[in-house]
């Protein structure tokens, strides 16, 4: 871990406080009353997602977190763990479901992902932007309803429910944007 | 940078550039009509003013001015009684939504006056500029309507700290370096100037490097800052005219800068000689013209009203 002067901070920079990595989501310089410069930041905890305000003084130093990305492919799941394989070392990496959140519904065998580590601790998994999933259940769309922004619920093979356009049917293969978890387009009909 | 998008950005800035041209024309007419003489002082100085937290940009054998204050006071000592200057100043490392390392400063000075007379000028100027440029005397910002023509709030620093920070100024000054500024930003400023302009006045002496002591309160400086629609816009002093005290303050400031590892500028002996010869009692002010433009334009960031800002 190294430290830097707060004057080097910018929006998007990452800092470490009390053992947790934070992302700077907003940053401003101010200099009240002809006094010393202050740096007013909004921070987001990269593990819990909670946000906070922080004012640093110009002489302050902040720690930078030890963050690293590893390229992995998804292998399989075991109880409440998801197992990835490091693309370089072929080591198995076990990721708890809590790190993945809803992303666990979009994991596909052999998908090329990235895992962000804070020190030795995995904190975030980045999936391919688009994945393809088959619809296992959805009610037929109402006949004659051609409005493009009308959607209906549809269930994936793993039980997760998404919203799809009315023309999508059971057995169709659809593309999902893993960043938003939303339907993107239909790949093929059943 | 993509050339086309840069040119599109510049094209879209036309309303801000027009507003700026109208603003500077209004300012010049305002002071000419009141008998002020416009002057231009050098951009490059051999001895910029010593202030604890203002760093000058090196330029050739000297530094770019951080303010024209010392030169304008030499003119006052020579008998000019009402002066103003509109032009660029430079402060190293100041970059943010409301800071640019190169910015446009309006300074004016009145001999035979103090910071109260400057406050009356300032009120007439901002109300007049808004009326002339916008056809109204209100500014919209952060969900508030700041009514420029209403009675202005007027807080002493002591009253504001007691009210909003729950501590006395002297308690705060006894804490570590930076406690005063941090509380000012986090606890005081969020309350200032939203529905009508607010004046914050009578700072601890350490925060009024070139201001005179308040009569009856020698530990406070006769200095005010103006907050308009929540933004700090201007800083005014009843000017310090005592040459010996000014020299002591400069030397103490030089020592603190040396201690903090900041560059130390030579004393401006011509300025100190002018004080010794006799600077009349006077009041003066520095007002950020780019910030006033931002307020009039309803913008949130100086980079949105300047054609060639730093930090993009």
ipTM: 0.88
Inform me whether the pLDDT recorded for A34 exceeds 90.
no
At residue B1, the pLDDT reads 56
Q: What are phi and psi of B140, to 5 degrees?
A: -100, 130
Q: Give pLDDT < 70 ranges for chain B.
A: 1, 312
Q: How far apart are CA A123 and CA A117, in angstroms?
A: 6
What is the 8-class DSSP label of residue A98? H
Q: How far apart are CA B297 and CA B179, in angstroms?
A: 34
pLDDT band at residue A150 using 50, 70 and 90 as cut-offs: confident
**Residue A135 and residue A110 share a domain:** no
In this prediction, what percent of chain A has a pLDDT beyond 90? 78
Helix H, strand E, coil C: the string for B261-287 is CCCCCCCCHHHHHHHHHHCCCEEEEEE
Q: What are phi and psi of B157, to 5 degrees?
A: -60, -40
At residue A61, the pLDDT reads 93
Average pLDDT over residues A59-83: 94
For B178, which of A28, A30, A57 is closest by C-beta distance? A57
- Quickly list H helices, chain B: 3-12, 14-33, 69-77, 115-134, 157-160, 169-173, 179-183, 243-259, 269-278, 289-297
To the nearest whole Å, the CA of B77 is away from the closest chain A CA by 25
**Residue A58 and residue A7 share a domain:** yes
Size of interface A-B (CB pairs under 8 A): 63
Interface test with B, best of A7, A27, A35 (most B CBs within 10 A): A35
Inform me whether the pLDDT recorded for A1 exceeds 70.
no
Q: What are phi and psi of A7, to 5 degrees?
A: -65, -15
Q: How far apart are CA B80 and CA B150, in angstroms?
A: 33
- Which of A23, A44, A63 is at the close of a domain? A63
**Residue A134 and residue A120 share a domain:** no
At residue A2, the pLDDT reads 78
Look up residue B228 and give its two tokens.
């308009």
At residue A172, the pLDDT reads 94
Q: How far apart are CA A28 and CA A37, in angstroms?
A: 11
- Which of A126, A148, A171 is at the close of a domain? A126
Q: How far apart are CA A96 and CA A107, in angstroms?
A: 13
Distances (CA, A) of B204 to A59, B74, B174: 22, 26, 12
CATH number of the domain within which A17 lies: 2.30.30.30
* Contact between chains at B207 and A7 (C-beta distance less than 8 A): no
Q: How far apart are CA A66 and CA B143, in angstroms?
A: 41
Q: How many C-alpha atoms does A87 have within 13 Å on its Cβ side?
A: 12
Look up residue A78 and give its two tokens.
């075991």
Taking any CB pair shorter than 8 Å as contact, residues of chain A touching chain B are 7, 28-38, 40, 55, 57, 59
Nearest partner of B25 among B86, B70, B75, B83, judged by Cα: B86
Look up residue B56 and give its two tokens.
């000058």
C-beta atoms surrounding B283 within 10 Å: 24
The number of domains in chain A is 3
**Residue A36 and residue A10 share a domain:** yes
At residue B312, the pLDDT reads 65
**Residue A44 and residue A86 share a domain:** no
At residue A113, the pLDDT reads 96
Nearest partner of A46 among A24, A31, A64, A62, judged by Cα: A24
* Contact between chains at A38 and B235 (C-beta distance less than 8 A): no
- Which of A87, A105, A126 is at the close of a domain? A126
**Residue A141 and residue A114 share a domain:** no
At residue A59, the pLDDT reads 85
> What range defines the domain where residue A164 resides?
130-188
- The length of chain A is 190
Look up residue B44 and give its two tokens.
């490059």
**Residue A80 and residue A115 share a domain:** yes
* Contact between chains at A40 and B51 (C-beta distance less than 8 A): no
Q: Compare all CA atoms of chain A with the CA of B204 and give the residue at the minimum distance.
A: A33
* Contact between chains at B53 and A35 (C-beta distance less than 8 A): yes
* Contact between chains at A37 and B94 (C-beta distance less than 8 A): yes
**Residue A47 and residue A15 share a domain:** yes
Taking any CB pair shorter than 8 Å as contact, residues of chain B touching chain A are 51-54, 93-99, 177-178, 180-182, 184-186, 189, 203, 207, 209, 225, 232, 235, 260
For A34, which of B177, B186, B235 is closest by C-beta distance? B235
For B96, which of A29, A33, A35 is closest by C-beta distance? A29
* Contact between chains at A35 and B180 (C-beta distance less than 8 A): yes
A29 contacts in B (CB within 8 Å)?
Answer: 94-97, 99
Q: How far apart are CA A38 and CA B161, in angstroms?
A: 18
**Residue A80 and residue A53 share a domain:** no
Beta strands in chain A (DSSP E): 2-5, 14-17, 20-30, 38-45, 51-57, 61-64, 67-78, 81-86, 92-96, 112-118, 121-126, 130-137, 151-156, 161-165, 173-177, 182-188
CATH number of the domain within which A171 lies: 2.40.50.140
At residue A178, the pLDDT reads 94
**Residue A145 and residue A116 share a domain:** no
User: Strand, helix or coil at A17?
Assistant: strand
For B181, which of A7, A28, A33 is closest by C-beta distance? A33
């Amino acid at each position: 871990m190294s430290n830097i002067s707060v004057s080097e901070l910018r929006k998007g920079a990452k800092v470490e406080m009390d053992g947790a990595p934070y992302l700077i989501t907003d940053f401003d310089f101010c200099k009240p009353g002809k006094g010393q410069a202050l740096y007013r930041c909004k921070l987001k905890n990269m593990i819990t997602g909670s946000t906070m305000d922080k004012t640093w003084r110009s002489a302050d130093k902040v720690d930078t977190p030890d963050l690293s990305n590893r390229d992995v492919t998804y292998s399989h799941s075991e109880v409440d763990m998801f197992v990835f394989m490091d693309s370089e070392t072929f080591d198995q990496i076990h990721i708890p479901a809590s790190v993945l959140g809803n992303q666990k519904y979009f994991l596909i065998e052999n998908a090329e992902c990235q895992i962000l580590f804070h020190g030795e601790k995995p904190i975030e998994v980045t999936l391919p932007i688009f994945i393809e999933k088959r619809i296992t259940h959805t009610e037929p769309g109402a006949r004659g309803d051609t409005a493009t922004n009308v959607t209906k619920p549809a269930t994936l093979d793993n039980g997760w429910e998404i919203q799809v356009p009315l023309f999508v049917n059971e057995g169709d293969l659809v593309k999902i944007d893993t960043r938003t978890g939303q339907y993107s387009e239909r790949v093929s009909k059943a | 940078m993509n050339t086309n998008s840069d040119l599109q950005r510049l094209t879209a800035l036309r309303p801000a550039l027009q507003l700026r041209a109208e603003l500077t024309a209004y300012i010049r007419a305002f002071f000419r009509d009141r008998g002020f003489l416009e002057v231009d002082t050098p951009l490059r100085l051999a001895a910029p003013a010593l202030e604890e937290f203002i760093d000058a940009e090196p330029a050739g054998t000297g530094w770019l001015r951080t303010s024209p204050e010392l030169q304008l006071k030499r003119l006052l000592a020579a008998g000019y009684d009402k002066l103003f200057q509109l032009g660029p100043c430079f402060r190293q490392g100041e970059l943010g939504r409301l800071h640019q390392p190169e910015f446009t400063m309006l300074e004016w000075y009145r001999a035979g006056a103090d910071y109260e007379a400057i406050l009356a000028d300032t009120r007439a100027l901002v109300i007049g500029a808004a009326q002339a440029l916008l056809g109204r005397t209100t500014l919209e910002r952060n969900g508030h309507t700041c009514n420029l023509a209403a009675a202005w709030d007027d807080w002493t620093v002591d009253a504001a700290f007691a009210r909003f920070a729950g501590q006395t100024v002297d308690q705060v000054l006894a804490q570590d370096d930076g406690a005063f500024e941090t509380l000012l930003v986090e606890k005081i400023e969020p309350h200032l100037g939203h529905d009508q302009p607010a004046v914050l006045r009578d700072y601890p002496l350490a925060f009024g490097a070139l201001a005179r002591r308040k009569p009856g309160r020698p530990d406070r400086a006769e200095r005010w800052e103006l907050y308009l629609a929540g933004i700090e816009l201007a800083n005014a002093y009843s000017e310090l005219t005592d040459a010996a005290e000014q020299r002591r303050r400069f030397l103490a400031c030089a020592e603190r800068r040396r201690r903090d590892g900041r560059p130390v500028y030579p004393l401006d002996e011509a300025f100190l000689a002018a004080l010794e010869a006799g600077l009349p009692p006077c009041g003066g002010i520095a007002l950020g013209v780019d910030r006033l433009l931002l307020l009039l334009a309803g913008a949130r960031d100086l980079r949105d009203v300047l054609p060639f800002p730093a930090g993009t």
